[in-house]
Structure 1
Amino acid sequence: MSNADPRRPPSPGASPQVLPGKAVPDENEAEQTRAAAREAAAAARTFGHHLGVLVSSAARGAGRGTARVAGTLWASRPSLGRRTPQDTAPPPAGPARVSSATPTGAPIRPGWITGLRRRPIRLAILALVALPAAALAGLVVYSFATLPPLGGVVPETGQRALTVEADDGRVFATRGTFQGQKLTAADLPPRMAQAIIAIEDRRFRSHWGVDPRGLLRALWRNATGGGIREGASTITQQYVRLTSLTQEKTLRRKIQEAFLALRVESTMSKDEILLGYLNTAYFGAGAYGLDAAARRYFGKGAKALTLPEAAMLAGLVRAPSQLAPTRNFGGAKERADVVLQTMVETGAITAAEADKARAQTITLRTPPETPPGTNYFLDMVSGEAKRLADTAGDVTVRTTLNLDLQSLAEGVVARRMDAEGAKKKAGQAAMVVMNKEGAILAMVGGRDYEDSQFNRAVQAKRQAGSLFKLFVYLTAYENGFTPETVLVDRPIQIGDWEPQNSTGRFKGAMPLRAAFAQSVNTVAAQLADEVGIPAVIATARRLGVTSDLPNVPSLALGSAEVTLLEMTRAYTGVLAGLVPVDAYSVHAIRGGAPQPLYVRPEARGGKALPTEPRAMMLESLQAVVDGGTGKAARVSGMPAGGKTGTTQDYRDAWFVGMTPDLIVGVWVGNDDNSSMNRVGGGDIPASLFHDFIQRASAQMARGRKRPSAARAEPAPAREVTPAATATAIRGVPDVIDTGTLAFRGRTVRLLGVDGEGGALARQLARYLRRREVACTPAAGGETGPLRCQIDGDDLAALILAAGGARASEDAPADLLAAEEQARSERVGLWGRQR
């Protein structure tokens, strides 16, 4: 490199170094340019590295790591974010000089390169803060732009509400959604308004729809409580959510809820908002709106609510399904006490008024939970009620169901099938119990409604087998045959059909009474051929069979498919002597008006069966039980008759039996139509009839008084006093054994019962499933064994009478008598000792 001073002109005579018109290149400037390029590339690489660290740290939520990186960058460059005089000073003219503080050969970094390195880091940090804020602002704008109209959501009401009563007036089930009446300001009890404001939104009268103070309080309590412990929605926000928004839990819906709440507050008064909220809020057990809840739980309109009742309803809206008194009366009562205390704190009532309210009697008008086994019956009743009174609004249906007989029917089916079903490959059973007028007193549609809602008593069509011979013999008796008429049991052929006996043998000449009692197929086929299949079909139609009946010879042996209900109905007609018997399940239907919507007439028309043929048929039916195929159905000291039925390969087994007062139809089989292990109608079905009838007479003798169905009298209320619940235990228990229950972690031993485990405990668990049990202390106090009730019956007595346990040494006389009954009947565990 030349040492000549570039600022001096070249000496004369010096040879030129460049072409004319071109600048003379300076080697120092070229070197500085190359150094600047290298520095720019290094700065870009450094910036990319640090930006990647920042972004990845933010994505991983590593806040402290990001702050540490950023802090390091700021600390290493104190001048970051401000320009120094050196940054803005023009570069010196002439050759670059190396600072004494700079190592020899180290490049000088111009100010614009330093700014290039520092500014992107600052922008990246700003972006990490600004982008979420921008996204939130965008969400707010979008939520506002897509606001739905006020009142745009109409709650789905589902099917109309049915309150279902048994024949004695006891309410045992509800179905559908209760709507009640829309309240006006004059209908709203002041105490109810005070209670709902106290527990849900204390500042309701002072805020403008959104309560910042309540929001901050909820955030603090949730943060310090380790979870969501308190909500921040005002009554206004809850109202707009119910009437204008969906129930989705998103930030967008929450923003829209706040916007709409502000809009509602500007267009409606506080009283109008409160009234609208109470008319739409859900109070559990299918009740929407305050009036519906008052009628659902207490059997009265909202205007008649007392202070303790209002407090209980106000406490439900936070957790209606969990605290509904039909499911959890104790929890509902505890929550009501909290509401009363809150009303004291807000000045709505005095402490003395709260104490007085806690001491008042609370009367529930509803059952705890629908007994699972009655759901088959309820499914049928729902359709029948719609047919008889298809009107809008909530209705109460008085049914024909006898809860005592229903419980008995469920119990005998469960015990017998648990004991014999598996080894005999019989998976399902159904039972129908009727009286002579056709009222359905009990119905078991299957072994477990929760496993299968298919009602085998009403919906299943199966071949009737020998059960169909009733129509053949009755037709023959009406055409001159008698029980003493003799026919020959022999091989026969009718067209291409050759009927066979189940035994494969023939007995020769025999009277029709014996042929019917022994269910001889060839004799029935001869009779049907003699009187004609069309005449047999006509008789079946007269007695109420509505299924298809083919005009073929095999119809005489039950090749047609029928339901258990219609066959039970047909046998009822023979007992009643008036055909067809109208099988029915509804006595009366009441709506909101005092006048019933429907009342079943006391007398129904029908055609009388001829006296002599009917008497012959009843005699033949009794012969089946006395010494024929239905001997297992015989009950000591009680006249009974019936008929067995068994289909090919033991796919179906039937028994329809009768006493002077009851007709009981039973079917046993498998849903997939598979064969059982040689189960005929005289086996499990006849035994089920025996088990039921043996105890049914005693049940009916001590039955409750039945209110008049003709006047459709309302059911009596079920009273529950706070004083009782303070020392008692209520709820749906878990079964430890047949003498020990568990209520929400507390173990209860039944007085007088030594519990059994295994299959008996499982049977009890199925029986108690979702049904409320109330237990009160016995002589030993709360620490000793308790006496428990279910639907008004003593649970220990039911268990002992069913053979579910042995009586303990401390059992009182009534429980010892129940055990003795089970011993004599050899049911439950006593049946094992045969």
Structure 2
Amino acid sequence: MQKLKEKIHNFLFSGPKVSHLEHESEEDKVSFYSSITYLTLHRVFHYFIVGIVFLIFILVGFGGGYALGIVRQQSIPTVKQLSQQINHSANSATLYYADNQKIATVTPDTKVIKASSSELTPLIKKAVTATEDETFYKHHGVLPKSIVRAVISELLGIGVQTGGSTLTQQLVKMQFLTSQTTWRRKITEMLYARKLENHFSKEQIITAYLNAAPYGKNNSGQNITGIKTASEGIFGKSIKDLSLPQAAFLAGLPQSPSVYTPFNSNGEVKKDLSLAMRRKDIVLFRMYRNGDITKSQYQNAKKYDLKKDFLKPTVAPEVKKQNSYLYNLAFNKGMDILTNYLIRQDNLKVSDVKKDTNRYSQYQNNAYQLLHQKGYQIHTTINKSLYSEVNKIVKNTNLGEDHTSVDYNSSTNKWTNTTEHVQNGTVVIDNATGKVLAFSGGVDFENSQTNHAFDTYRSPGSSIKPYLVYAPAIENNIISSQTALADFPTHFGKYIPTDYNSTVQNKFVSAQEALAKSYNLPAVNLYSRLRSSGLNLKSTMNKLGLSLTNNEYKSLGIALGGTDYGFSVADNASAFSNFYNDGKRASVYYIDKVTDPSGKVIYKHKQKTQRVYSSGTAYIMQKMLRQVVKTGTASALNGLLDFDDSTLIGKTGTSNDYRDIWFNGSTPGITISSWIGYDNYYGHTYNLNSSSSTTNLTLWANIANALYRTDPSIFKIDAVSAQPASVKRSTVLKETGTLPGTVSWNNQDITLDGETTTALSLKAASPASAEFGIGASNKNYDLFYNHYQGQSNKYGEILLYTGKTISKNTKNIDSLFVSLGSSKKSSEESSSSRRSSSQSSNNNVYSNTGNSRN
């Protein structure tokens, strides 16, 4: 042998020079090469084993590190939380007001009758453990073989398997986790199971399991959960009276209740019960194999005709579903929050999952089921007393004429009588936090379930002017509060804006007056200047939470509310609230937190505040918007309010033909926004009347008064804003908005002086200038200077635009104006909106005239 090893060594390491094998016998040669083959294979096998062991160490190391990372990240519930959650058997979610008063409990979609531990007979326990976990009374929550099986399944690319989980793990999955089969969920499941076993007895665990397990449907077609519910709803018996085949049948249901349940959705027994009976036989066999029953019992139970024991169909008692604007708002938002939480729990990005509609829908369905079956808690920001007052006022206010018609409902393929009320959407938010304190979703939930505060989008009318036109102009030093804006007949190509009712003021008006009385021409002229200045208005509006398209920004009609889709009431209120929040907008929200059945907070709102305008701009806008209430389009509020309104600011808004009426009003503490209008279902085009602006202002005043009586502290009416150092106060001429001085016009020196006023701005007052206004033509200045020097002309006389045609080359306007005199009547708003949309799938088409009122 030693000689053979030497020959092999020489052969392997001496190379081609070794030739002594030529003199060996054939037998020696065969022995020699066989030995080489053996030694080679032996060494290869040795390296292979070492490699496998090394790989296993690496996998165990990485796997252990991964598991340890999950363990460290995962917060295990306390024993009290565990006890609460394992005993929450299909208790649906609860919605709460801000003060923890209950709004409602989510209508459960499953019937539950909990059983006590004493009601669980040895027979049902043996049937369940023999089927689901035969070593239940021996293990400590987790079986090592299930961990090995999960690892092998993952390595082989099968994925994390759920089979083989202990009964304790199944309880954890039902009561704590989702059905997603991920490593994170599997490891978390094992952690929870171990803690359950450490702190709860086997009897407590099996009782909780049998109360939480799903059992399909009962003879009324209701979903049922819990062994007691199943026993009574399938066989009409208490648990102690169940026979062996009945107990075996029930024990087999939780594996796949939708497949094995004996009843369909109307409570009738299924025609084909072969799968369910086969499952029952498997349970019986496992009980026999486990020694729980004798062979004779097994055979007799297997032969037993169980079908005759099923209850006859019956009608389920009618369950009144919880429905209201508040219930739907809180539930739907809660479901969105829970859906996103479940996605993140699986280490996925919500944005990525949303790209896959089917996958996101699965998460939504899971969240929906959890809210109907588990004891989640959704806490809103809604103040119960304030909410009640707002809706009481809306319900008892006549907002306008009802319209009844017969319309064809395509969803039901039937003609139906429909009545449309004037609808209302009102939102009350806290300026500093964005918290929704109260709202009105509509005047009659039974008539229209559309939430008009959050889910309908309507043309904002002139309510858009403060934050799209005037505030950006102040912020960028384009105007002061007294800058002169042109309000003369003009056109922009084929677009011919006018003030209310096709009038023009035919003069220069100050920015403050133009905003207070909501003149349209000055706003369009100013917006045109903003646009030509290259300002990023889109960025500003986005910070306000308002989304507009690039094409909308290109249209001058946007200055009057001419949007494609419009804004919701909540959007409008949130944007307006920035002026009393130092130029910052706090994102509007109405869900404060969501907790799981154990009380663990899975979502808590994080306040997001973004600066939109400087403190100086916000202060100046407060002073300008105060004039809207004091002398402008909202002056009808004077005398209607039961509190000191000296700090109240506001802005009205009306779209074309009185389709939409708005008022945004703010005190230092809160913003209340109110909208009224028709839904216009089935293609109707109902409009409000000319007095609707006053109607809405009266409604707003009544709401504000009721809120003040309920909780005056939220108004903060005594809070006075200090003037920021950035704000400049200047004494300027009322006529021009500039400092006095001498200017030259048409080769003539003209001294500008006279009555003065105080201008607020972020820069020093403008010196006297011949072309002092924004949007004026030479013809307009000629009219002004002639009038200023004493000539009698139509400067300052309101003109009615009675006929408008534009030549094909759009260079000349052929129009007729009629003087209406120097009426002091304010020119209210009106707006154009090419389309105002509602989530009721109804779109209202508007012309794009750009005239607005209020």
User: If the length of structure 1 is used for normalisation, what is the TM-score?
Assistant: 0.45
- Structure with higher RCO (Cα < 8 A, 6+ apart): 2
Bigger radius of gyration: 1
User: If the length of structure 2 is used for normalisation, what is the TM-score?
Assistant: 0.44
